[in-house]
Structures are given as structure tokens and as C-alpha cells.
Amino acid sequence: MSDIRIKTLEELIVLREAGRILATIVADLKSSLKPGMTTRDIDLLAEGLVVRHAVTAAFKGYRGFPANACISVNEEVVHGIPGARVIKDNDLVSIDMGIIHKGYFSDMAVTVGIGSLEASRQKLIDVTRQALLKGIAEARPGNRLGDISSAIQKYVESKGFSVVRDFVGHGIGKDLHEDPEIPNYGEPHKGVLLRSGMVFAIEPMVNMGRFGIKILEDGWTAVTIDKKPSAHFEHTVAITESGPMVLTE
């Protein structure tokens, strides 16, 4: 049985603050990306922003993760460790970041195209962002978890791409990962009933080719087996009586 925490209004207010701060940090990172930077440069900027906003980087030290943000380039799906990789024109750079603010977590990811992108790469970004919005639209009281999952899967597959199976979204609040797990594939009208006060990190990872992934020897970085590019968008979303409220914007 899953044990999904229903947040109080007071908790939602803090989560909203945590979401807004993270959205500001990610927007700043996004606008500073340019060819020639290393992924470590991006992480150093993230570190500075965390200090400036007086929050804590949620991933640093999480199960030993060594950086402030996960930065994944092209065939890297998720959990890329910032390092010496240099970003260049036509790259897809995914930034996934979480913060802790007053004891509460927010979690967000974006994929950014560097310079001029091949049309198929731009389409991958657009479809993944849109898939997240399709999933968010289903996050309302009375729906079931599978409505979120299947909306994402159906949209992505209708555009000729595939959804990653090995990583899923999650509940979030006082912990980074709370129940339930939120797959990006599944059956409509199945799974737990959604209720006002649930807070979810919904995060489709979409591959241009097949959905298979593997983990590199660093123990973290997930890459596509077919080496084709992948994109990732994530928002932290509260379910309210009047529908979904995106916290990370």
C-alpha cells in the first residue's frame, strides 16, 4: 500500500515558496548556457545561486551524488554528473535540480537546446515539454494516477518517440521522494485516486529512439542504449480542488 501524504495549507505555502525559488534558479541557469562551457561550470553557477537564495541543494550528498544539479547531455537521459564535458552547438542539455527550503523540497528539470538545433532535436524538446503539460492537466481530484501516466505516454508515442521506463516521478514534500511512484506510461483510470493536497514531481524522460537505457560505470549517469538523444522536463505540482497548481514556475 502506498502512503501518500496529504499536505496542509501551511505546507503548501512553503512548498510554493520552494518551487518559486527553484524556478528562479533554473531560469538563471538556462539563460547562462552557452557553447564552450563545461557541465561543471553550470554546476558552479548552480552552487552560487543556491547560496544567494539561502536554500540547500537537495541532490548534493543524496546517496553520495557529488554535485548541486544533475546535468545530462544528448544521449545522457538523467543523473549526469557535472564534469569536464564541454557543451556545444546542437547539444541538448538537461538540468535537473532540487532544493530544500524551510524543510521542504522542490524538484524541477528542463532540457535546453544549445545554439541552432536540428529540427528533430527541437521536436524532441517540444514534445517532452508538452508531454509534461499533458500529464499535469490530469493531476486533479477524482482522477487516478494512471490518468497522468497514460496521458504522457499516449502523447509521446503519438509523436514517434518513446518514454523511459526505468525512472519515474514521485510524491514530494518533507522528503525528496515520497509515495507514490509516477510512471510516465500506464493505463488510464487505474491506480490511486488523486486527492487535493497531494504534491507530485511529474517528470517525463523521452527518448528519440528506443526507451532502453543503461547506467555508466560512474554509477549514476543513465544513457540511451541506442545513443540517440533524450529530453527531460519536470515540475513539482500540487493537486488542489480547482485542479493542478504548478509550484515550480
Number of residues that bind Mg ion (CB under 5 A): 3
58 in contact with Mg ion (CB under 5 A): no
218 C-beta neighbours (distance < 10 Å), count? 11
Alpha helices in the chain (DSSP H): 9-32, 39-52, 119-137, 145-158
Pairing type for strands 169-171 and 104-113 reads unpaired
Nearer to Mg ion, 15 or 37 (CB): 15
Q: How far is the CB of 109 from Mg ion (least distance, A)?
A: 7
Nearer to Mg ion, 198 or 201 (CB): 201
Q: How far is the CB of 161 from Mg ion (least distance, A)?
A: 20
Q: Which window, 58-66, 106-114, 138-146, 147-155, contacts Mg ion (CB under 5 A)?
A: 106-114
Nearer to Mg ion, 181 or 226 (CB): 181
Map residues 203-222 to x or -, x wherever contact with Mg ion holds by CB under 5 A.
x-------------------
CB-neighbour burial class of residue 59 (10 A; exposed 0-12, middle 13-18, buried 19+): buried
CA 142 to chain centre: 24
Nearer to Mg ion, 65 or 226 (CB): 65
43, 76, 107, 138: which one contacts Mg ion (CB under 5 A)? 107
Nearer to Mg ion, 15 or 201 (CB): 201
Q: What are phi and psi of 95, to 5 degrees?
A: -110, 120
Taking CA atoms, 166 is separated from 182, 185, 223, 245, in Å, by: 11, 11, 11, 26
- Rounded distance between C-alpha atoms, residue 249 and residue 245, angstroms: 10
Q: Which helix (H) or strand (E) element contains residue 205?
A: strand 205-207
Q: How far is the CB of 116 from Mg ion (least distance, A)?
A: 30
- Rounded distance between C-alpha atoms, residue 183 and residue 166, angstroms: 9
Q: Which window, 14-22, 104-112, 118-126, 152-160, contacts Mg ion (CB under 5 A)?
A: 104-112
Q: Are 18 and 105 in contact (CB under 8 A)?
A: yes
CB-neighbour burial class of residue 227 (10 A; exposed 0-12, middle 13-18, buried 19+): exposed
178 in contact with Mg ion (CB under 5 A): no
Please, which of residues 12-51 interact with Mg ion by CB under 5 A?
A: none
Q: How far is the CB of 113 from Mg ion (least distance, A)?
A: 21
Nearer to Mg ion, 75 or 107 (CB): 107
Q: Which window, 35-43, 61-69, 122-130, 197-205, contacts Mg ion (CB under 5 A)?
A: 197-205
4, 156, 201, 246: which one contacts Mg ion (CB under 5 A)? 201
Query: Which positions lie near Mg ion, rule CB under 5 A?
Result: 107, 201, 203
